[in-house]
Amino acid sequence: MNFFRMNGRRFKAIRRFALIAAVTLAPGWGIHTWWGTSENTTMAQNINVPLPTLGGAQLWTDHDYRAGYRIQQNAVTKHWRLLDPNNVRRAWGSREDVDEALDKLQPEIASPCDRPVVVLLHGLMRTDNCMKSLETKLHAEGYEQTIRFGYASTRGSLAESAAALREVLENQSPEAEFAFVGHSMGNIITRHLIGDLQTDGDPKNLLPRLKSMVMLGPPNQGAAIARRLAPTGVFGLVAGPGAMELGTRWSDVESHLATPPFPFAIVAGKVATPIANPLVDGDGDFVVSLEEAQLDGAETVHQVPVLHSFLMEEPEVQDWMIEFLKAH
């Protein structure tokens, strides 16, 4: 009897500790949203301790970018936060809260420089960190302004990610010009953005300011690997709606995608591996086939012996990409 009484007390103590921890960490995790607390409450304004973060991982999408500061929305809780250039959370709560904090911490929007702002877009199940070495290379080659666009690739649809990308670009200087380097799904999001601008109107005059693009391993014709994994059910749960759109829902999304109306090139991997991927048809980079990467209108298709996941980090690919951007 004493044993059960003692363990019951321990359980209550643990439960109280968990509750206290949850309340303490709520601003960082968005728990206030799950409990129904308004994002405009005094708690959101007063409990705002700078908190180191992972920068986004799979749950956050960028909606604004200013000199390294990023406004992000959580794909699950829908609350907002502001990260500084070191991925430390500086504000959280409603969109109005984080907009106000950004204006205080970084009021200046970057003025255009001689070269376009290079927007780097990661692929499915990756984060913007995978584009960091490419960003470093670009800076060394004189591209002073870059944006590593992060999005919740496994939680959001392609349309949602494209809308967030549009918001980021429209919030830059109205004179800024842009070039894109996308990996895998990141290219499809960019094509969706262009299609949206062509269909819905372009009040911020973005289209004339989009200058060039390099596509790394793009599933421009959909992805057989996604189509074949979709029936498992697990794939959709793990990889999310965007991945399903690359597979069994490709026919629904393809009509929303535009061919870039500016110079673009494709870098496609062609690797010889001891064991072929049975989920991919023909030659390719083990995830996207050469046929799937094709898109009419490309200035060139550059084939490299590099696996899909490493295309953005391969030095030869980086050098070739920069030469293409410089030429356009």
SS3 of 318, please?
helix
pLDDT at 107 over 50: yes
pLDDT at 253 over 50: yes
Write out 265-293 in H/E/C secondary structure. Answer: EEEEECCCCCCCCCCCCCCECCCCEHHHH
Mean pLDDT of 122-139: 97
Residues of the chain with CATH 3.40.50.1820: 117-327
pLDDT at 18 over 50: no
- Residue 253 contacts residue 245 (beta carbons within 8 Å): yes
DSSP state of 309: G
Phi, psi angles (nearest 5°) of residue 88: -95, 130
Q: Give the C-alpha distances (Å, rounded to integers) separating 113 from 142, 143, 173, 328.
A: 10, 9, 11, 15
60-66 and 69-74 beta bridge pairing: antiparallel
pLDDT for 8 equals 52
Mean pLDDT of 246-263: 97
What does the pLDDT look like over 286-325, one tens digit per residue?
Answer: 999 999 999 999 999 999 999 999 999 999 999 999 999 9
For the chain, percent of residues with pLDDT exceeding 70: 86
pLDDT for 56 equals 84
What does the pLDDT look like over 259-281, one tens digit per residue?
Answer: 999 999 999 999 998 888 999 99
- Residue 159 contacts residue 256 (beta carbons within 8 Å): yes
Provide the Cα torsion 302, 207, 121, 89; round to 10°.
160
- Residue 184 contacts residue 125 (beta carbons within 8 Å): no
pLDDT for 48 equals 78
3-state helix, strand, coil in the chain (%, to 5): 45, 20, 40
Mean pLDDT of 159-183: 98
117-327: CATH number: 3.40.50.1820
Model pTM?
0.86
How much is the mean pLDDT over the chain?
88
pLDDT at 24 over 70: no
User: What does 245-265 look like in DSSP terms, one character per residue?
Assistant: HHTTTHHHHHTT----SS-EE
Residue count (the chain): 328
What does the pLDDT look like over 186-217, one tens digit per residue?
Answer: 999 999 999 999 999 899 999 999 999 999 99
How far is Cα 213 from Cα 197, in angstroms, rounded to an integer? 16
pLDDT for 57 equals 81
pLDDT for 4 equals 42
What does the pLDDT look like over 35-54, one tens digit per residue?
Answer: 333 344 444 454 778 989 99
Q: How far is CA 15 from the centre of its chain?
A: 37
